[in-house]
Chains A and B, each alone.
Chain A
Amino acid sequence: MESIARLLQFIPRYDALPGIVRALLPVLVSCVVIFAALAIAVLFAVWLERKVSAHIQDRLGPMYVGGWHGWAQTLADALKLLLKEDIVPASADRLLYKMAPFIVFLGAFAAFVVVPFGASSFVSDLNIGVLYIVAVGSLSVIGIIMAGWASNNKYSLYGGMRAAAQIISYEIPSTIAIMTVIIPVGSLSMVDIVNAQKGGIQHWFLFRNPFIFLAFIVYFIASLAEVNRTPFDIPEAESELVAGYHTEYSGMRFAFFFLAEYANMFLVASVATTLFLGGWTQIIPASIAPQLVPGPILFFLKVLVIIFLQMWLRWSLPRLRVDQLMYLSWKVLLPISLVLVLSVGWLAVYW
């Protein structure tokens, strides 16, 4: 955000603007920048998902829109959704129904404030960065419950209830898995965590010790449940609940839910990259070569690897039933993550 503030100085008579405007303008501009970047990234992710799923299923996927392998397909879909009729069900709770998609999106969008894309490419370096992400990330549950209830549809209600149970259950193992990374670093700030992994692949937390490797797997599985991806997509189980909590939404509201899901995917992938894969730092060890590829690009590539992993899992596994999902969270992931945190703590003290 400092770089944006410096850029804004070039506006003529910038100093004549009132103080409050000068304080808020960088924030607004960075929000717009992040939203634009997120929208483009989501566009790309949806296209990638369709292509990956198509090739796993022996077909081709989008090929037509935009020329080369249908890269503009998502753009066309977004335009189509914009043109659709905006339906609010007759007996739905109007205010909640309209607010729900935005709250769900908010939960993903607001957390990007602390994610460091590069050495100085971040909006804000909160010293409680990780805590902030965990806290804001749970906002989306409220949005989902609102959507489920306000649609006045039994299927949506089911979807909303299941989603609420699922998301809050999986927050715990995911947070504990994050704690295993905090222990070696000693700080909750995302920028500090990335700086502790500078210098190449051997410094990444993923390879520092086997407990953090297992913590990465635990975090990955828990984060899949946070974003409602198969095998944990019970809230939007297409074959059981038609579409779960977003059954009644059409047009731009549905597009917002879609955007929110993929933004969430990007968020958990970004957090996984920052915490375990070294964020924007280089892959090749520093003794061989300095960082040549710019930070944001390397960051995006690493995030893409995680997202590809998520998509691969989605298209090869069936989905878990609700009680099996709960069993996995409380009886498998939680004990394992507790053991891992204790082990990492013990290692930190005695090594």
Chain B
Amino acid sequence: MEVDYSGDVMTLNMGPQHPSTHGVLRLELKTDGEIVADAIPHIGYLHRCFEKHAENVDYPAVVPYTDRMDYCAAMNMELGYVLTVEKLMGIQVNNRVRCIRIIMAELDRIASHLIAAGTYGNDIGSFTPFLWCFRDRETILDLFEETCGARLLYNYNWIGGLMYDLKPGFEKRLIEFIDYFEPQVDKLNTLLSDNYIFIKRTAAVGILSPETAISYGVTGPNLRGSGVKFDVRKDEPYLGYQDIDFEIPVGKGEYGPLGSCWDRYMVRIREVKESCKIIRQAVAQLTPGDVHESIPKRVKPPAGDIYMRTECPRGELGYYIVSDGSLKPYRLKVKSPCFTVMSAFREVSRGTMISDVVAILGSFDIVLGEIDR
């Protein structure tokens, strides 16, 4: 894309090490005073050859690698992979596994959105919500730790089942947490979301129109913030989401044009409340059973290829697996939602100020592990 630069343009490098580029992202800003003429993202600093690794280990051993892509919402990453392989092999899991998977995925969605909200507040200058969000996230991580032993990288969703069953009393502790947590979201809204300064910083900034979003392939809260009602859980339901009653929050342009940073941020906060609803229903649908029931002794899918998409907290996560009938995948490709959103970043941030670039980047909620894999 050729851009006509006018005036004295200074190149400012928001380099790989920077307090608010959520990871190692290099943004080359061409600035004219405070206005950004162009913002070119350079990625690849966190590339760890995930897709190549996946070709060299067995199918079950790929799951720890999928954790490490989006480390803030590892359960959803594992879920996508596991569902893809199960679809290829034609494995059906029982109701208990299905409900626990939904619970874990939604809990991790809450945890991931808490990180998004907290770090976004940090970028905008309000340091307190970060600590409050992390305090609530600690309880979620404690729930995960007592179930599978790890706090961040779980290796919990296995092909055909789960690593461990829930501990007795888990449902009670979970519902206690959800009851405690829902008022905390309102408190966060009073502190941050409804704060006039925050609204002024974010509500007229980073406008991503619905047409632009669709043409770039943006999905998830970023797309819903622009008013497009699209969610893989409703449009191509998996794991029995069609039987669960929940809403899809979309941005309504309450404080400015539709598709602003505030809309995207608010979609995440409202999604947290919807996830609480989903968790309650999933807990009600839990039935006793054996979570190791359908785990095959050796995972040897038939030759062929398959693509499956799920809704991770950052958008539509897709796995494309080509299998040649052996114990290791022949080719594994991941469609990362943050990668597509970064392609839209350049257009959205043109003509804004440096402070706005930070606000826009925070509202897209990227995790470099997922972009670079």
Contact = CB atoms under 8 A, between A and B. Distances in A.
Q: Do chains A and B directly touch (beta carbons under 8 Å) in the complex? A: yes
Contact of B197 (A155, A158, A240, A319): A319
Nearest to A243: B19
Interface stretch (B86-94, B155-163, B246-254, B350-358): B350-358
A342 interface: no
Interface string B12-44: 110000111000000000000010000000000
B135 interface: yes
Contacts of A3: none
A321 B353 contact: yes
B61 interface: no
B353 A322 contact: yes
B195 A318 contact: yes
A231 interface: yes
A234 B358 CA distance: 13
A65 B215 CA distance: 57
Contacts of B127: 53, 57, 315
Interface string A218-262: 000000000000110110011111100000000000000000000
B192 interface: yes
Interface in A279-333: 315-324
Contact of B201 (A230, A233, A316, A320): A320
B191 interface: yes
Given A318-B126, A318-B192, A320-B200, A239 B131 contact: no
Contact of A239 (B19, B34, B135): B19
B12 A154 contact: yes
Contacts of B19: 238-239, 242
Contacts of A316: 126, 128, 191
A231 B20 contact: no
Tell me what chain B mostly uses at the interface: helix, strand, loop, or mixed: helix
Contacts, number: 78
A315 B191 CA distance: 11
Nearest to A232: B125
A58 interface: yes
A318 B124 contact: yes
Interface string A28-64: 0000000000000000000000000100111100000
Nearest to B125: A319
A233 B355 CA distance: 12
A154 B125 contact: no
Nearest to A322: B34
Q: How large is the interface on A (under 10, 10 to 19, 20 to 34, 35 or more residues)?
A: 20 to 34
Contact of A57 (B131, B201, B354, B358): B131
A58 B132 contact: yes
Given A57-B132, A58-B131, A318 B121 contact: yes
A308 to B, nearest CB: 16
Given A239-B19, A240-B20, A322-B34, A315 B128 contact: yes
Given A154-B12, A231-B197, A323-B353, A239 B128 contact: no
A237 B126 contact: no
B197 A318 contact: yes
Given A318-B198, A318-B201, A239 B123 contact: yes
B10 interface: yes
Contacts of A59: 131
A239 B353 contact: no
B122 interface: yes
B353 to A, nearest CB: 7
Interface string B294-338: 000000000000000000000000000000000000000000000
Interface string B167-204: 00000000000000000000000011001011011000
Given A57-B127, A57-B132, A321 B355 contact: yes
A317 B195 contact: yes
Nearest to A155: B12
A57, A238, A239, A315, most chain B CB atoms within 10 A: A239
Nearest to B34: A322
A230 B198 CA distance: 13
B131 A231 contact: no
Contacts of B353: 321-323
Given A56-B128, A318-B121, A322-B34, A239 B10 contact: no
A68 B13 CA distance: 44
A58 B200 CA distance: 27
A321 B357 CA distance: 11
Contacts of B18: 242
Contact of A322 (B12, B128, B355): B355
B128 A57 contact: yes
Contacts of B356: 321
Contacts of A239: 19-20, 122-125, 358
B125 A58 contact: no
B30 to A, nearest CB: 12
A158, A233, A318, most chain B CB atoms within 10 A: A318
Interface in B345-373: 353-356, 358
Given A58-B132, A318-B198, A318-B201, A154 B355 contact: no
Contacts of B354: 158, 240-241
Contacts of A158: 12, 354
B17 to A, nearest CB: 9
Contacts of B192: 318
A242 B18 CA distance: 7
Given A240-B355, A318-B198, A230 B125 contact: yes
Contacts of B128: 56-57, 315-316
A322 B20 CA distance: 18
Contacts of B191: 316
Pairs A-B, 10 closest by C-beta atoms? A319-B125, A57-B131, A318-B126, A239-B20, A318-B124, A318-B125, A321-B355, A239-B123, A318-B198, A318-B197
5 contacts: A57-B128, A154-B13, A155-B12, A239-B125, A321-B356
Given A57-B127, A241-B354, 16 more contacts: A56-B128, A59-B131, A154-B12, A155-B12, A237-B125, A239-B123, A239-B358, A316-B191, A317-B197, A318-B192, A318-B201, A319-B125, A319-B126, A321-B201, A323-B34, A324-B201
